[in-house]
């Protein structure tokens, strides 16, 4: 039996909420019902909801304080939050009530939610994972705090002009953001630059004193994180940089006026803008400063809270504090905690190291070598002179105490494991520091964790077999099903009860209806309605007409060669060619939809966006193919757009070269919402296929082992070019002006990368298998019942990919963290 959702005690009824919204419209927004813009209505609604949120936030904080709970501190340079209004309303159990209240005020709640700018403080999967995780932490009543940077500008807004990506600044808080609270009472001051002095204390002990050249103020902004059913409200604390009043006159006199002015301006620059490179490290010093800034602020905050309860007795520190490093971006927190404990709190080295080791753990999100952070030593030393000394000492002890006994006299192993990379420019390797300083290192899907152990860090795994582990990623079903796909959510509630957003495994209850014609119809009617809605969005955003009758085939993710949007594109061109050659070519109409941002400096990625748009123009306007093929590039892909695309997808393209996509999380969201995965055996695709059954998906391509074998043998893309006439024709097409009239060769860079460039990601090697899998998808779609069954099975078996399960794994095996119920 379907259970009715229980309204929460203390939550508001419709009339109260209505009164509160009007009250805030007048007394917080300073306007009236008659004059108010939709933006004002939105802010007034947030203010009304915030009364509830703050109440619960205070309760949570008092409970945690009173019970002196252990807590996890999730350090991440990115939190890709998206919009918060609908999410918070759902989690508070107030969505329906607010909808009804607003309706009486003449406002549609969905329109109201559109007023909110996305909080795009992240690039892609890594940042969105952090956002899902803090939702799950609050939902599971785990004491937790997210720490990051309060970027003034999040990820750029993408415009498409004549097919090309243009980057425009994002200003998410230009007109105020009702969800953030400034906390001047918790401002921190952070040192940078300067020099280290060795002094001797009265006890004769040697001490290091870091005389900073500059100090920067860190101003915390708190975003409440409301758990589902609203009991625990944790916070996400984001640091904004400001110039400090502090001024070091010695450095000023030595360094000169101009330099110090430049430093002052730079202080304000630190939290100005998110670096838009995903999985590639530019080595820019400002980024190191950003990383140190937010880690140092966060550690000071952690220390302040710890000392309030325990004074200077650090024997309980590791019992109270867990710190998760989301990729290597916050690695500098390790030497910073050592500096605090050794230099400031005067613990001896071994005691301090024992604490650090227990406190920290590290998540690796990629094997791509260009993403592994390294800092030129001479730059590092200028910014953080004391930290470099500490890193040398960590490294010396590690090499002498652990590496030498295990591999006596083996200098090659020492060189490989050292935190310092030798060479023309010596470098600090953040990945090695992370592994050495953490008690646990996890990958984000089974296969990825295996490769972390075997290929990326094999010697570290030999030293510490227990350290390396796996936590498969997950996504929050509150945002990615309940909120973005209300009709499907309702079907689940009616079918398996209202508890599924907490216990996603309950969705399996729908499996027994997978063959049932009536249930299939309900499921597919919902999909159809979602597609109809997307048809309108596509028209509004791009002017392109598409039919909901077609298969909606979606690839949404950052643009990267390894994610292989170019493989999707050459297949689209091949289909187009087949249709031109034979107008009766037998296929169900298909709409290929892309959403993707390219890093501004990633030339080939931008060329691929251009090519997609140019092919789209030509295909979409070609009468000869009778609308059987459409190509849509949705500009400015972001969380709020994903929420519209995902419920409407039939096919989920997850086509990375095996071994390169650490996990993927879009794959989980799409499957949950009733799409078939067209994917390689990579990342979490493998586990998705395990849960759903490979027969209900379209799996293709080389496996990880086969990729390795092909590369070992010496891969030659020209072989495929000459062997497969379709590949040859499509690539040669790129040199013509067919898609770019009057401008031949504008698409040639893609061909060149695939042939002269060596096709690093084996797109040509996988083309044929991909094309066959696409035919399988087409055939399956035309069998209405088989398709309906397949998407139901996929959706109903995605329980494993609830981020609550991921977080429970972290809590059990990495953080040793217990829930704390809030009254
Ligand atoms: C990995 F290393 C990185 C990075 O810099 N940015 C990023 O988004 C992604 N990731 C992986 O590419 C995905 O496979 C994975 O699901 C996601 O991180 C979360 O773990």
Interval 335-356 mean pLDDT: 98
Determine if ligand 1 sits within 6 Å of the CB of residue 661.
yes
Q: Is the CB of 130 under 6 A from ligand 1?
A: no
Write the residue with the smallest CA distance to atom 16 of ligand 1: 664
- Is the pLDDT reported for residue 709 higher than 70? yes
Q: What confidence score (pLDDT) does residue 267 get?
A: 87
CA of 446 to the centre of ligand 1 (A): 15
For a substitution probing ligand 1, which of 328, 445, 662, 668 has the most ligand atoms within 8 Å of its CB?
Answer: 662
Rounded to the nearest angstrom, the distance between the alpha carbon of 658 and the centre of ligand 1 is: 15
Instruction: Look at residue 252 in the predicted model and tell me its pLDDT.
Output: 56
Mean pLDDT of 309-313: 96
Structure-block tokens of residue 648: 């409407």
Indicate if the pLDDT at residue 201 is higher than 70.
yes
Does the C-beta of 132 come closer than 6 Å to ligand 1? Answer: no
Pocket lining: 504 vs ligand 1, CB cutoff 6 Å: no
Query: Among residues 153, 287, 527, 669, which one is catalytic?
Result: 669
Work out which ligand 1 atom sits closest to the CA atom of 558.
Answer: 8
365 in contact with ligand 1, CB cutoff 6 A: yes
User: How confident is the model at residue 99, as a pLDDT?
Assistant: 98
Selected catalytic residue, list 558, 560, 606, 638: 558
Residue 574, pLDDT above cutoff 80: yes
Point out the ligand 1 atom lying closest to the alpha carbon of residue 364.
2
| pLDDT tier, 251 (very low <50, low <70, confident <90, very high otherwise) | low
Alpha-carbon distance of 287 to 308, in angstroms, equals: 32
Q: Is a pLDDT exceeding 90 seen at residue 257?
A: no
- Marked catalytic residue, from 128, 339, 479, 557: 557
pLDDT grade for 244, boundaries at 50, 70 and 90:
confident
Residue ID of nearest Cα to ligand 1 atom 5: 279
Calculate mean pLDDT across residues 20-40: 97
Looking at the CA of residue 664, tell me the nearest atom of ligand 1: 16
Please indicate whether residue 663, judged by its CB atom, sits closer than 6 Å to ligand 1: yes
Query: Is 208 part of the annotated catalytic residue set?
Result: no
Q: Which of 78, 124, 326, 452 to mutate to test the pocket of ligand 1 (most atoms within 8 A of CB)?
A: 124
Active-site annotation holder among 563, 606, 614, 644: 563
CB of residue 662 inside a 6 A radius of ligand 1: yes
Could you tell me the pLDDT band of residue 6, with boundaries at 50, 70 and 90? very low
Give the tens place of pLDDT for each residue, 753-778: 999 999 999 999 999 999 999 999 99
Distance 662 CA to ligand 1 centre (A): 6
Atom of ligand 1 nearest to the CA of 661: 14
> 262 C-alpha vs ligand 1 centroid, how far in Å?
35
d(CA 436, CA 438): 6
State the pLDDT confidence band at 9, using cuts at 50, 70 and 90.
very low
Superfamily (CATH H level) for 68-83+118-473+808-815:
Glycogen Phosphorylase B; (3.40.50.2000)
pLDDT at 130 over 50: yes
Looking at 328, 366, 665, 680, which residue is catalytic?
A: 665
For residue range 440-480, list pLDDT tens digits in order. Answer: 999 999 999 999 999 999 999 999 999 999 999 999 999 99
Kindly tell me if the per-residue pLDDT of 261 is higher than 80: no
CA distance 408 to 405: 5
Write down the ipTM of this complex.
Answer: 0.99
User: What is the fold of 477-798?
Assistant: Rossmann fold (3.40.50)
Compute, in angstroms, the gap from residue 761 CA to the centroid of ligand 1.
17
* Per-residue pLDDT at 5 exceeds 60: no
Report the percentage of the chain scoring pLDDT > 70.
Answer: 97
Q: Determine the Cα–Cα distance for residues 512 and 526; give it in Å rounded to an integer.
A: 19
User: What does the pLDDT read at residue 235?
Assistant: 98
H, E, C per residue of 316-373: HHHHHEEEEEECCCCCCHHHHHHHHHHHHCCCCHHHHHHHHHHHEEEECCCCCHHHCC
Mean pLDDT of 375-385: 97
Distance 365 CA to ligand 1 centre (A): 5
The answer to whether the CB of 683 is under 6 A from ligand 1 is yes
* E-state strands within 579-663: 590-595, 629-634, 651-654
CA angle 820, 85, 234 (to 5 degrees): 20
* Phi (first) and psi of residue 189, to 5 degrees: -120, 130
Tokens of 45: 């609604």
Whether 557 sits among the annotated catalytic residues: the reply is: yes
Residue 688's pLDDT is 98
- Is any atom of ligand 1 closer than 6 Å to the C-beta of 126? yes
Report CA 805 to chain centroid distance, whole Å: 17
Q: How far is the CA of 679 from the centre of ligand 1 (A)?
A: 17
Give the per-residue pLDDT at 12. Answer: 86
Share of the chain above pLDDT 90, in %: 93
Burial class (CB in 10 A: 0-12, 13-18, 19+), 150: buried
563 is catalytic: yes
Query: In the 8-state DSSP scheme, what is residue 470?
Result: E
- What's the pLDDT score for residue 183? 98
What stretch(es) of the chain map to CATH 3.40.50.2000?
68-83+118-473+808-815, 477-798
In short, whether 372's Cβ falls inside 6 Å of ligand 1 is no
Among residues 365, 440, 453, 751, the one annotated as catalytic is 365
- Give the per-residue pLDDT at 4: 41
State how far the Cα of 381 lies from the Cα of 375, in Å rounded to an integer. 10
Distance (Å, whole) CA 654 – CA 664: 8
Model-level pTM?
Answer: 0.97
- In the prediction, which pLDDT does 39 show? 97
CA of 265 to the centre of ligand 1 (A): 32
Nearest protein CA to atom 18 of ligand 1, as residue:
126
pLDDT interval class at 281 (50, 70, 90): confident
Nearest CA to ligand 1 atom 1: 365
Kindly state if the Cβ of 279 falls inside 6 Å of ligand 1.
yes
- Band of the pLDDT at 566, cuts 50, 70, 90? very high
Task: Let me know the angle formed at the C-alpha of 814 by 299 and 234, rounded to the nearest 5 degrees.
Answer: 55
Going from the C-alpha of 44 to that of each of 26, 39, 55, the distances in angstroms are 9, 9, 17
What's the confidence (pLDDT) of residue 337? 99
Cα(125) to centroid of ligand 1, in Å? 5
What does the pLDDT look like over 636-689, one tens digit per residue? 999 999 999 999 999 999 999 999 999 999 999 999 999 999 999 999 999 999
Q: H or E stretch including 165?
A: strand 164-168
Backbone φ and ψ of 762, nearest 5°: 55, 35
**What per-residue confidence (pLDDT) applies to 254?**
60
Asked about 669 being catalytic, the answer comes back as yes
How many angstroms separate the CA atoms of 344 and 698, rounded? 58
**Catalytic residue flag (residue 665):** yes
Does residue 444 have its Cβ closer than 6 Å to ligand 1? yes
CA–centroid distance, 473 to ligand 1, in Å, is 10
Mean pLDDT of the residues in the chain? 96
Is the C-beta atom of 664 inside 6 A of ligand 1? Answer: yes
Nearest ligand 1 atom to the CA of 684 is 16
Ligand 1 atom with the shortest distance to the CA of 448:
14
Pocket test for ligand 1, best of 76, 121, 123, 125 (most atoms within 8 A of CB): 125
pLDDT reading at 366 higher than 60: yes
Burial label for 395, CB within 10 Å (0-12, 13-18, 19+), is buried
Q: What is the mean pLDDT of residues 480-497?
A: 98
pLDDT digits (tens, 9 = 90+) for 595-627: 999 999 999 999 999 999 999 999 999 999 999
| DSSP assigned state of 117 | P
Average pLDDT of the segment spanning 562-588: 97
**Residue 129 alpha carbon, nearest atom of ligand 1:** 19
Distance between CA atoms of 319 and 281, rounded to whole angstroms? 34
């Amino acid at each position: 039996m379907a259970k009715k959702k229980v309204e929460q005690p203390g939550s508001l009824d419709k009339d109260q909420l209505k009164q509160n919204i009007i009250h805030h419209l007048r007394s917080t927004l300073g306007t009236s019902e008659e004059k108010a813009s939709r933006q004002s209505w939105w802010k007034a609604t947030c203010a009304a909801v915030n009364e509830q949120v703050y109440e619960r936030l205070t309760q949570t904080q008092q409970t945690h304080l009173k019970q002196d709970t252990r807590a996890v501190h999730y350090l991440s340079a990115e939190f890709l939050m998206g919009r918060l209004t609908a999410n918070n309303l759902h989690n508070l159990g107030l969505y329906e009530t607010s909808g009804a209240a607003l309706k009486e005020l003449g406002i549609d709640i969905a329109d109201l939610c559109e007023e909110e700018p996305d909080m795009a403080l992240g690039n892609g999967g890594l940042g969105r994972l952090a956002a899902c995780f803090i939702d799950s932490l609050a939902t599971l009543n785990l004491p937790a705090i997210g720490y990051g940077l309060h970027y003034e500008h999040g990820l750029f807004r993408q415009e498409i002009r004549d097919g090309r990506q243009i980057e425009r600044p994002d200003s998410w808080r230009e007109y105020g953001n009702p969800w953030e609270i400034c906390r001047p009472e918790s401002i921190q001051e952070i040192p940078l630059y300067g020099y280290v002095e060795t002094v001797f204390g009265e006890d004769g002990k040697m001490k290091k004193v870091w005389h900073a050249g500059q100090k920067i103020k860190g101003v915390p902004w708190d975003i409440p994180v409301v758990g589902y059913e609203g009991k625990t409200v944790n916070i996400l604390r984001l640091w904004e940089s400001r110039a400090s009043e502090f001024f070091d006159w010695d450095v000023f006199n030595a360094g000169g006026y101009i330099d110090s002015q430049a430093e002052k301006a730079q202080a304000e620059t630190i939290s100005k803008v998110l670096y838009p490179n995903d999985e590639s490290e530019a080595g820019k010093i400002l980024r190191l400063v950003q990383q140190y800034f937010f880690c140092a602020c966060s550690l000071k905050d952690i220390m302040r809270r710890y000392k309030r309860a325990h004074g200077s007795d650090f024997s309980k520190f590791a019992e109270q504090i867990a710190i998760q490093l989301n990729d290597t971006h916050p690695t500098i927190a390790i030497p910073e905690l050592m500096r605090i404990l050794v230099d400031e709190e005067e613990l001896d080295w071994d005691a301090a190291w024992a604490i650090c080791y227990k406190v920290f753990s590290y998540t690796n999100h990629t094997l791509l070598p260009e993403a592994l952070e390294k800092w030129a030593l001479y730059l590092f030393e200028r910014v953080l002179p004391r930290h470099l000394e500490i890193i040398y000492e960590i490294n010396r002890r590690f090499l002498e105490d652990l590496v030498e006994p295990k591999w006596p006299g083996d200098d090659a192993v020492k060189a490989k494991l050292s935190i310092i990379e030798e060479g023309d420019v010596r470098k600090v390797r953040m990945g090695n520091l992370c592994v050495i300083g953490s008690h646990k290192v996890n990958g984000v899907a089974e296969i990825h964790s295996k490769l972390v152990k075997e290929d990326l860090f094999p010697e570290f795994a030999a030293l510490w077999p227990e350290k390396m582990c796996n936590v498969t990623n997950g996504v929050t079903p509150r945002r990615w099903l309940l909120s973005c796909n209300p009709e499907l959510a309702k079907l689940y509630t009616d079918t398996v009860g209202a508890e599924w957003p907490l216990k996603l495994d309950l969705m399996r209850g729908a499996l027994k209806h997978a063959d049932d014609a009536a249930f299939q119809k309900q499921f597919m009617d919902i999909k159809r309605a979602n597609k109809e809605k997307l048809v309108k969005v596509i028209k509004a955003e791009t002017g392109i007409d598409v039919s909901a009758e077609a298969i909606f085939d979606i690839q949404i993710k950052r643009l990267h060669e390894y994610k292989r949007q170019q493989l999707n594109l050459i297949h689209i061109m091949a289909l187009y060619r087949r249709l031109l050659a034979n107008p009766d070519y037998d296929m169900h109409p298909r709409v290929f939809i892309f959403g993707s941002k390219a890093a501004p400096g990633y030339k080939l990625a931008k060329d691929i966006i251009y090519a997609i748009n140019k092919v789209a123009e030509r295909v979409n306007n070609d009468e000869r193919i009778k609308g059987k093929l459409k190509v849509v590039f949705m500009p400015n892909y972001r969380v709020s757009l994903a929420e519209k695309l995902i419920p409407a997808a039939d096919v989920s393209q997850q086509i990375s070269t095996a071994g390169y996509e650490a996990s993927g999380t879009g794959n989980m969201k799409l499957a949950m919402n009733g799409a078939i995965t067209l994917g390689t055996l990579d990342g979490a695709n493998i586990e998705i296929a395990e849960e759903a059954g490979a027969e209900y998906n379209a799996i293709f391509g080389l496996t990880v082992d086969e990729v390795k074998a092909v590369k070992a043998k010496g891969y030659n893309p020209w072989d495929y070019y000459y062997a497969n006439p379709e590949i040859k024709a499509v690539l040669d097409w790129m040199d013509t002006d067919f898609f770019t009239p009057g401008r031949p060769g504008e698409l040639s860079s893609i061909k060149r990368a695939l042939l002269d460039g060596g096709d690093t990601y084996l797109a040509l090697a996988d083309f044929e298998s991909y094309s066959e899998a696409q035919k399988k998808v087409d055939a399956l779609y035309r069998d209405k019942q088989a398709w309906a069954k397949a998407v139901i099975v996929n959706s109903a078996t995605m329980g494993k990919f609830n981020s609550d399960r991921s977080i429970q794994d972290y809590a059990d095996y990495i953080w040793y963290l217990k829930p704390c119920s809030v009254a």
